[in-house]
Amino acid sequence: MSRVFNFSAGPAALPEEVLQQAQAEMTDWHGSGMSVMEMSHRGKEFMSIAEKAESDLRELMSIPENYKVLFLQGGASSQFAMIPMNLTRGNSATDYINTGAWSKKAIAEGKNFSDVNVAATTEDSNFSRVPHQDQINLNANAAYVHYTPNETIGGVEFNYIPHTGDVPLVADMSSTILSRPLDVDRFGMIYAGAQKNIGPAGLTLVIIREDLVGDAMPGTPTMFNYKTHVDNDSMYNTPPTYGWYLAGLVFQWLKDKGGLQGMAEINSRKANKLYDAIDTSDFYANPVDPHCRSWMNVPFTLANAELDKTFLEEASAEGLKTLKGHRSVGGMRASIYNAMPEEGIDALVGFMAEFERKYG
Ligand code: PMP
């Protein structure tokens, strides 16, 4: 069977070239006679894979020397707890910005370990925008500020990095990391579940400024302490080796594609094509303020919700898969991460026009 255009929010499409390379190397990685899955994480073969993945990521994102890169497990959801456990550093006051479903989860977990101040929320607009800088009421004495640059479900994305003075900024970049260049030094910590723009589920990436490591709450479990992973190069226990390897293949693919500047150009073009198709039609709608629309997750509704099922069935028959919106919002959602080729957007836009002609 040929490959489809998979618009899943995550786990999401991976670059076909990466999958083919993984397939070619599946049973015998570089003459080792072993699959990467079968290798000791401490052997020289896997160590070379791990080191190359990290150095390629550092190069792609221009990660400064004073930041550590960790390859962990537990998903972004574990970070919701690890962040307050590690970053409050004797100061229980934390600031969180609420822009939707994933912010809320981070806030709920943050409350288990700290005194959360919701410094801004856009709930009154049903999360159709992000707050302006001057609408964020920061506490200058907070231990950190947490925000979600891209809300995967709502499809709302910050078009700027909030200024937080000397207070470290912590960002859940699960659904936007690697989509464009980023000033890493504006952040205290960046984290992301891998299953959208990095690699397979099971790997969680953490990029943390080294001065923030080493002062976890008393009683923090060993595996939840960043220092454990920093001190052991993410190999305190068995790391998610295959995910780490595949992430490395994705990083190489990104470098071959022109790096993050190259991705930004393609991603902006892809997103604009899709939003234009939505905005120039009375049949499709997207509720998000045009200044805050996500490049990665594009939710949209049909004028007649009774046609949703037909839309999904007919799209699927055309090889346009996993377009159903999140169960909490309904409608459709096209997730168009780095691995979604521009032809996938063209095919979707063409299908949407044809569907509107038939049923609109
Ligand atoms: N944050 C965001 C922005 C997400 O999109 C997701 C997953 N969809 C998560 C956190 C949770 O990630 P995980 O499933 O890796 O715990």
Domains and CATH numbers, the chain: 23-256 (3.40.640.10), 259-359 (3.90.1150.10)
Average pLDDT, the chain: 97
- pTM comes to 0.98
User: Which is the closest atom of ligand 1 to the Cα of 153?
Assistant: 5
Using the atom order of ligand 1, give the atom closest to the CA of residue 77: 16
Residue 1 has pLDDT above 60, yes or no: no
Rounded to an integer, the average pLDDT of 87-95 is 97
Mean pLDDT of 123-130: 97
Looking at 36-40, 202-206, 290-294, 327-331, which range is the least confident one?
A: 327-331
Q: Is 76 in the pocket of ligand 1 (CB under 6 A)?
A: yes
Ligand 1 contacts CB of residue 294 (under 6 A) = no
296 lines ligand 1 (CB under 6 A): no
Joined tokens for residue 73: 């497990």
Q: Token pair of 194, please?
A: 């891998």
pLDDT band at 14 (very low <50, low <70, confident <90, very high): very high
Q: Which two tokens stand for residue 270?
A: 């892809």
Tell me the β-bridge partners of 298: 334
What digits encode the pLDDT tens for the residues 230-262? 999 999 999 999 999 999 999 999 999 999 999
Query: Residue 5 pLDDT > 70, yes or no?
Result: yes
pLDDT of residue 2: 85
- Pocket probe for ligand 1: among 175, 297, 322, 327, the residue whose CB has the most ligand atoms within 8 Å is 175
| Ligand 1 center to 150 CA (angstroms) | 11
For the segment 154-190, what is each residue's pLDDT rounded down to a tens digit? 999 999 999 999 999 999 999 999 999 999 999 999 9
Closest CA to 203 of 212, 214, 213, 191: 191
pLDDT number for residue 287: 94
Ligand 1 pocket check for 323: Cβ under 6 Å? no
Distance in Å, CA 17 to ligand 1 centroid: 25
Cβ(174) – ligand 1 distance below 6 Å? yes
> What is the C-alpha separation between 334 and 300, in angstroms, rounded?
8
| Nearest CA among 135, 201, 207, 179 for reference residue 270 | 179
Task: Answer whether 338 contacts ligand 1 (Cβ < 6 A).
Answer: no
Q: Which atom of ligand 1 is nearest to the CA of 173?
A: 3
Q: What is the mean pLDDT of residues 141-166?
A: 98
Residues carrying an active site annotation = 102, 172, 196
Cα dihedral 48/52/58/61 (nearest 10): -150
Cα–Cα distance measured from residue 343 to residue 58, given in angstroms and rounded to the nearest whole number: 30
Nearest atom in ligand 1 to the alpha carbon of residue 10 is 8
State residue 327's pLDDT score: 87
- Write out pLDDT tens, residues 42-69: 999 999 999 999 999 999 999 999 999 9
122 lines ligand 1 (CB under 6 A): no
